[in-house]
Structure 1
């Protein structure tokens, strides 16, 4: 009978002070401290550690920004199967080592490494590491600094959260990333640049009422969870009927070539930050990826889009990646929980952005609300006056529909079309509907008019006040119904509803 498979277990030890503790500790603390230690357990070909932001994370050995460890200690071998190990990690991530349980002195990366080492091998990590907090607190300066230390955390960037949103383990294939960034504040864009992907409405894959338009080279993609019903008063319930009769508009543009894009970014970002963007390419290029992006990736997107010094070209190209990312439900769940509140910040500062960046983001928002999970995320009314919904409708939808730039209100018409496929709050219906009616007074391209009339009809079916308002303001049907048979049909239906 063959022996069970075994794996070596090592502890990687890093001095966060890079030698300064050894040089300065005697003068400041009155005793010599060899280092300020961070540790990770290396087993099954990966390094596992615990941090104050991401909880339990994994990366390739030595794959965080700390680089290679200062020392490595062999702890022995383990015969525990990998899936059992992951199950144990998941249990720890839901109890002792949740991100909120992190404490720099009492429950840190070294406590996690100690627990993991004993679970895997029965051996502990070196005592000088786990005993460091007591040594520091035994000094007068340590006691004086304790309130400040209590609020600190260490989270070396470079790993992926193993259990994003508390999901149980699905695979051990967790590739590394390379950095952690704090939120970059949105700034008014001052740099000029060309918008990625052109301005034609035909960039979008648009389907509805038996009609389809598609850009050359574009591919259609149905989002997970799309649905809704066009039944009056409640067209968000019957998803099967809605998906058959009123399919979403989805922008599918060719993603910028990876190497040239990353080369351009390398002039603006650090190598670690560029690596996170590279992760996004890998994620989108992997069918059914077994790993997830994490908050560090969203923070990188936030920084690039929010900084006008990046220029419109780079920001527009990153938005093309984001168009595809928001079609993935797991990514929407990440947006719901990541600390920078990327989408909320985009909506809050939308008017400060250049027209090119605004149009790129309108396509992102259109894709986001093309499926139910994304639609709910954008129309969630929690958060008061700065919730997504309160910013989306007046500042983005209405402002873009009433914009003088035809490309702007054409893209806004796609957003409104998708937004109205599902039920939206009653007080928002009139606000959006009024902007649609005003935009319909213009001479419009056929696709724009069709999108707006479709959205308006959905609102009219669920809100009698919208029927009255459309009857009073008018829908310019005499002009639009000449553009195509499908528009003539919509205009006839709308005029019938206003006459009732």
Structure 2
């Protein structure tokens, strides 16, 4: 008989926030709010408040499963399974029979797993409802999970196409490649102008010296040095940029500045780092521990951060150097802290984006940032400083929000998810410095004009973190940042965020009277949750 592979897809409806919030809400830690489905015959089957449904594997609005567990193989013919499934859909698993805690998707998965393979789905999933029901806030959690469960629906064809377009790895790569090429071109033109300017200054000095001596200026010094200017990507002469090209670049700069002024100013830490001190400290730590190529990268870093050169001074091997400093555990923690502080200062430069784009293949920086919860407190502080400062420039802040995914440690992550994790982790830390940086990053995130299919989920995740943070009685400045963010997220996610505020609390009105600017934001939020 023909065999068919049977798998259970395990999703966390809370997107990782259950692990953060459960100790506060129910007094014990639970790892996730589990939704499961059975995948067999190249189809995903699941049960919810709309009854038994199916779709192509992984094509619900929840997204990618947290875990896929192999249950076994079945010899049940497809026709027999469909007949059995139809019977369930019209008897014990109708939409009206759905009960969040006692008769849910996981009970359905268990039923199907037993029928097909004679095995059970993981016990911790079936035991979860009792843990929640026995909690004081069981009913509030039930309402929240009920809202999350609605996302466990097949994506309509139009939505699938839209999300496919938005999340298409090929399209994302093309967009990022185009951005990268644009920045490279702009940087080459900038470097060309710098070289020409230096050449002209040298010639001017030579002219002045000759005139002061009463001599005659040679004819070659009167000519424009078009033929002597080397092209940036070879040895061929390059023409001077036309006046039209310069005018176009100036117009682009004005447009960027206008965009920058139109948004709320980001919270950054401009004078926090003494660049020379950090660089000298790094050199003293790594002295004698680098190979010749890495020593060259140290010199390039000095030219970029202290010598005033552009990012063109950094060679192709610079990211390998960063990778070594961040991930070589033989080096002391101080080396990682120093290079992160230098990157935080570099984030205030508008050409750092060229370095960031060259990391789009190996994701050295974001893979490191994704593991913030495993880093030392000193590394966490330096990393949070870097992420906060990245919002100073439009290009680098947009890079933080890229949605194209890659696999890291068996998880699908993206720049926006890493940025969110860093922000949430810092805000909920017991470290005052991290809390300050986390509030700044969330404020900066909320100030961005973002239009992606994942930003609603990000708004919900950060909202849950903000509500938990409010229980710590933050200062006025921190409260302002968080309320400003909450008001923005309530505007973005018009249904989920207001419902979360109502169900989880605390009510923003409890902070009335803190200051006029906080009161104004509370009024904005209150209009959303009526």
Task: Give me the TM-score of the superposition, normalised by structure 1.
Answer: 0.50
Structure possessing the higher radius of gyration over alpha carbons: 2
Structure 1 or 2: larger helix share? 2
